Structure 1
């Protein structure tokens, strides 16, 4: 009936991971941009089927940038240069994001094909940690401004380096604001309308994606 993807299977509706409306409405880009960010690059999340994306977009970049990877990663021998710091409690997630300039949205292939984004996207954006979206993600430009869509690990390095240069500036705040705006399809009120319509068997409100707008 429903799938948590921007491009679900035929016949299924998009019921996305929700983000609270008040969290979006209370986000203050200028204050987020002003926070001190000591790490250029982080990733928070588990390994599950993300090896391909990690190998293409994160691991080579980690060889050139100070970074941290937090989460459950059991098979890491091929990346001895990566700073894996293990699992963290939920209340440590926000401070880590607040310490970093950017993260990379790593996804298993099955998520990438359908444009499925988890709460990690909201956690990053709402702390001012900018999400770099690999070109392999369907709907990458729906969730990230074009300048944050990356094509390779070298592009990750170049983008993070450029972002570090503007940290704390109005341009940085404006970029955070644009990322917040792109979370609009995930608003909790939208998901509640979709769920209510699906359960009632009525017309499900259409989801207007960034690429569909005039």
Structure 2
């Protein structure tokens, strides 16, 4: 789209490294995505609080507006009810106002002013029967290879520069004392963890970074708790492999998280459960696994049977399979969607 589109962007999280004690999987891809939209000629106004400034003391110079400014498009990283957190009254202990603010934005812009609206349902929490899916002024995007009927695929983007600068040969030569690592929170991953990670952790060096609270049945697992963002990325740099653990609602739609490119571009080989829809599009065949026994066997081969050249070839193959996530590709897709939502000459 040639004209500048003023995008009111609502998200709950951080653009920078943020703070340690909070869930936010968007930190490796949100800022590159926003910067690319700005570089393409659009104006971004953030409509939720500036958490980088207020919580992390990290002012980054982006435009935030707590009011209801004039915009051409409302873009929402979808928020959903979380009991005891954003469903409580404003000012209550532990309350976050992300959901209340989203409701206000939808009432004012989407319903009140018929502002074209894009809902990016990154967590697959928008109900299949939600009225917004059928609203004439709303487009729903999902970070899945096979999105829900009527939704558009908008994958988690990886910066072109990060992709283009990857050196599989150099990454394969890096010393990796940890055999298996996982970075991410527990949410809805217990079954996958039981099947693919926990049995293997009894036999290999490993580490898990993230918020894992209900862990009594895994006393043998090394849980590091939440780590600062850059420390979590460093864990990938010291690990031979990771397992791509997904909630079932992600796996059924072929929705891979940003963990795949965080790991691959750090030189950490991703082992992908074959039950994930289109798993073969994410990793080469030697990295597909069906249970903990497969994970164990693959780790042994990578550690003792595969030479540096073989690991480099696997990493190069994994890097090539990240092309669908390329940032410029996702921005182009969003631009086409904006063209359908905002007719030429409609921007103010």
Give the TM-score normalised by the residue count of structure 2: 0.57
* 1:77 maps onto 2:216 in alignment: yes
* 1:151 maps onto 2:290 in alignment: yes
Bigger RCO of structures 1 and 2 (CA < 8 A, at least 6 apart): 1
* 1:128 counterpart residue number: 267
User: How much does 1:22 deviate?
Assistant: 1.0
Q: 1:180 aligns with which of 319, 324, 327?
A: 319
How many residue pairs match? The answer is 202
* 1:195 maps onto 2:334 in alignment: yes
Check conservation: 1:34, 1:168, Cα contact below 8 A: no
What is the alpha-carbon distance in structure 1 between the residues aligned to residue 222 and residue 144 of structure 2?
31
Counterparts in 2 of 1:14-33, with a 5 A limit? 14-33=153-172
Deviation string for 1:83-132 (max 9, x for gaps)? 11111000102211011110000010111111111111111000110000
Check conservation: 1:34, 1:167, Cα contact below 8 A: no
- Cα RMSD (Å): 1.2
Larger Rg: 2
* 1:67 maps onto 2:206 in alignment: yes
Structure showing the higher helix proportion among its residues: 1
* 1:161 maps onto 2:292 in alignment: no
Stretches of structure 1 lacking an aligned partner (at least 5 in a row): 203-214
SS where residue 101 of structure 1 aligns?
strand
Check conservation: 1:47, 1:73, Cα contact below 8 A: yes
* 1:205 counterpart residue number: none
What is the alpha-carbon distance in structure 2 between the residues aligned to residue 128 and residue 64 of structure 1?
22
Check conservation: 1:44, 1:70, Cα contact below 8 A: yes
TM-aligned CA distance change 1:166 to 1:126, over 3 Å: farther
Counterparts in 2 of 1:90-101, with a 5 A limit? 90-101=229-240
What is the alpha-carbon distance in structure 1 between the residues aligned to residue 305 and residue 312 of structure 2?
9
Stretches of structure 2 lacking an aligned partner (at least 5 in a row): 1-139, 342-348
User: How much does 1:167 deviate?
Assistant: 6.0
* 1:106 counterpart residue number: 245
User: How much does 1:141 deviate?
Assistant: 0.9
Q: 2:194 aligns with which of 47, 50, 55?
A: 55
Q: 1:138 aligns with which of 269, 272, 277?
A: 277
Deviation string for 1:122-163 (max 9, x for gaps)? 110001100000112112111111110101001000001101
SS where residue 185 of structure 2 aligns?
coil
Deviation string for 1:30-63 (max 9, x for gaps)? 0000000001101110000000100111111111
